[in-house]
């Protein structure tokens, strides 16, 4: 990471990395999703994410689609390539430290026109969440659970989607409910715009959520949630199908949590296994 990028992530709790995927790579990933689109589940009824907010409600819910890394080939390939991507590896080495790992299985978040928002949430405040945190010590940032969000569609001003309150990863007070519901002080909530092929990195400690989707095209964002190598947020075990055919670099990202000194495989900044 450059000094500017480190400054921006420390200041804001998030960073947009532009043009990580080529247009052809975006098209291939979208083709794979189209092939499985009938499996997208929209969160309606008890699965709604807008709570009782008057400003986040919509006509339907967010669409979720999991299992991307376990799909038959060639459909899984675009997403497996994201595991140890050489453009993103140096960012995660800095944000999480070498040895970082995939904590959650990758999943697509989609929103069609009229989709509701998601109440703002995050782990900042008076308590300390030992799984989701931001600490700066001895000249280095230290993060818990961190999101790598791969954008497969443009997000323009006014479209909706990801929104957050910059700097709240270092906040000392709990976010008040009217702000979490996007009913008060909307001016401090930043809508994150980006282009297809960009990647948004953000710490789960920052207060974040989504605002209703108004664009005619669907929002498509593939989320990978990463943790430091010694830490797990969820209990999980990868299936044999998911592990089959991975490169050594990709398998390194799927290692269980344990200390780096126990011969944990590490990725160099170029995405190769460190010697």
* Residue 122 belongs to domain with CATH number: 2.60.120.620
CA of 151: how far to CAs of 23, 43, 128, in Å?
11, 20, 30
Query: How confident is the model at residue 22, as a pLDDT?
Result: 98
Query: How confident is the model at residue 124, as a pLDDT?
Result: 83
**Does some domain include residue 170?**
yes
Mean pLDDT of 95-109: 96
Query: How confident is the model at residue 83, as a pLDDT?
Result: 97
Query: How confident is the model at residue 103, as a pLDDT?
Result: 96
> Of residues 125 and 257, which shows the higher confidence score?
257
Compute the distance between CA of residue 154 and CA of residue 214 in angstroms, rounded to an integer: 13
**Does some domain include residue 250?**
no
pLDDT digits (tens, 9 = 90+) for 218-261: 999 999 999 999 999 998 789 999 999 999 999 999 999 999 98
Q: How many domains does the chain have?
A: 1
**Does some domain include residue 266?**
no
For the chain, percent of residues with pLDDT exceeding 90: 95
**Does some domain include residue 269?**
no
Query: How confident is the model at residue 80, as a pLDDT?
Result: 98
pLDDT tier for residue 123 given thresholds of 50, 70 and 90: confident
**Ramachandran angles phi, psi of 59, nearest 5°:** -85, -20
Query: How confident is the model at residue 145, as a pLDDT?
Result: 97
pLDDT digits (tens, 9 = 90+) for 33-44: 999 999 999 999
Query: How confident is the model at residue 236, as a pLDDT?
Result: 77
**Does some domain include residue 254?**
no
Query: How confident is the model at residue 212, as a pLDDT?
Result: 98
For residue 10, is pLDDT > 80? yes
pTM: 0.96
β-sheet bridge partners, residue 66: 107
**Hey, what are 25's tokens?**
């790579």
Q: Please give the residue range of the domain that contains residue 87.
A: 3-234
For the chain, percent of residues with pLDDT exceeding 70: 100
Query: How confident is the model at residue 125, as a pLDDT?
Result: 85
Query: How confident is the model at residue 248, as a pLDDT?
Result: 96
pLDDT tier for residue 127 given thresholds of 50, 70 and 90: confident
CA of 90: how far to CAs of 5, 78, 249, 271, in Å?
12, 20, 14, 8
For residue 275, is pLDDT > 80? no
pLDDT digits (tens, 9 = 90+) for 170-199: 999 999 999 999 999 999 999 999 999 999
Query: How confident is the model at residue 139, as a pLDDT?
Result: 93
pLDDT tier for residue 271 given thresholds of 50, 70 and 90: very high
Compute the distance between CA of residue 15 and CA of residue 13 in angstroms, rounded to an integer: 7
Length of the chain: 275
**Does some domain include residue 89?**
yes
Query: How confident is the model at residue 8, as a pLDDT?
Result: 98
Compute the distance between CA of residue 82 and CA of residue 80 in angstroms, rounded to an integer: 5
**Does some domain include residue 212?**
yes
**Does some domain include residue 157?**
yes
CA torsion, ordered 97, 232, 168, 193, to nearest 10 deg: 80
The whole-chain average pLDDT of the chain stands at: 96
Query: How confident is the model at residue 126, as a pLDDT?
Result: 86
pLDDT digits (tens, 9 = 90+) for 130-178: 999 999 999 999 999 999 999 999 999 999 999 999 999 999 999 999 9
């Amino acid at each position: 990471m450059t000094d500017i990028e480190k400054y921006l992530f420390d200041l804001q709790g998030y960073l947009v990395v532009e043009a990580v995927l080529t247009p052809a790579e975006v098209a291939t990933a979208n083709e794979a999703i189209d092939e499985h689109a009938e499996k997208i589940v929209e969160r309606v009824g008890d699965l709604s994410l807008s709570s009782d907010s008057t400003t986040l409600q919509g006509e339907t819910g967010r669409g979720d689609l999991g299992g991307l890394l376990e799909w038959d080939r060639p459909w899984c390939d675009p997403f497996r390539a994201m595991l140890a991507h050489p453009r993103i590896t140096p960012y995660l080495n800095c944000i999480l430290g070498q040895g970082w790992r995939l904590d959650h299985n990758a999943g697509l978040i989609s929103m069609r026109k009229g989709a509701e928002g998601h109440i703002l949430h995050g782990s900042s405040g008076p308590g300390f969440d030992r799984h989701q945190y931001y600490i700066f010590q001895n000249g280095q940032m230290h993060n818990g659970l961190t999101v790598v969000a791969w954008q497969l569609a443009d997000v323009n001003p006014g479209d909706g989607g990801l929104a957050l309150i910059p700097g709240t990863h270092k906040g000392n007070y709990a976010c008040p409910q009217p702000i979490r519901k996007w009913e008060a002080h909307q001016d401090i909530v930043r809508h994150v715009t980006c282009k297809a092929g960009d990647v948004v990195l953000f710490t789960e400690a920052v207060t974040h959520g989504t605002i209703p989707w108004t664009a005619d095209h669907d929002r498509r964002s593939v989320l990978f949630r990463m943790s430091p190598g010694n830490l797990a947020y969820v209990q999980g075990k990868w299936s044999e199908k998911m592990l089959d055919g991975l490169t050594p670099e990709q398998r390194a990202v799927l290692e269980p949590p344990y200390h780096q000194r126990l011969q944990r495989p590490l990725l160099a900044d170029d995405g190769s296994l460190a010697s």
